[in-house]
């Protein structure tokens, strides 16, 4: 599900959603920071597979510092 894009940067495509009647694709970005924390931007629907893949990258940061 997660696709490597650059070192320590991944993405995953989500489902199409309707936005004012138009189909709109969704995409999540996952980045591992130099601190080792993982940040998730624009999360998509979380599946067990997606959870495992993100956890394999590192611990998800719960808040911005």
Q: What are 17-32's pLDDT values in tens digits? A: 999 999 999 999 999 9
In 10 A of CB 2, how many CB atoms?
A: 16
Say if residues 58 and 47 touch (Cβ distance below 8 Å). Answer: no
Percent helix / strand / coil, the chain, rounded to 5: 15, 40, 45
65 pLDDT band (50/70/90 cuts)?
A: low
pTM: 0.85
Beta bridge partners of 17: 24
The two three-digit tokens of residue 60, written as one number: 């998800």
Q: Is residue 1 scored above 80 in pLDDT?
A: yes
């Amino acid at each position: 599900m997660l696709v490597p894009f650059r070192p320590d940067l991944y993405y995953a495509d989500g489902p199409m959603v309707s936005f004012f009647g138009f189909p709109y694709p969704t995409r999540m970005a996952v980045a591992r920071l130099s601190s080792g924390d993982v940040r998730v931007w624009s999360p998509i629907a979380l599946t067990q597979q997606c959870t495992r893949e993100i956890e394999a990258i590192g611990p998800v940061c719960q808040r911005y510092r």
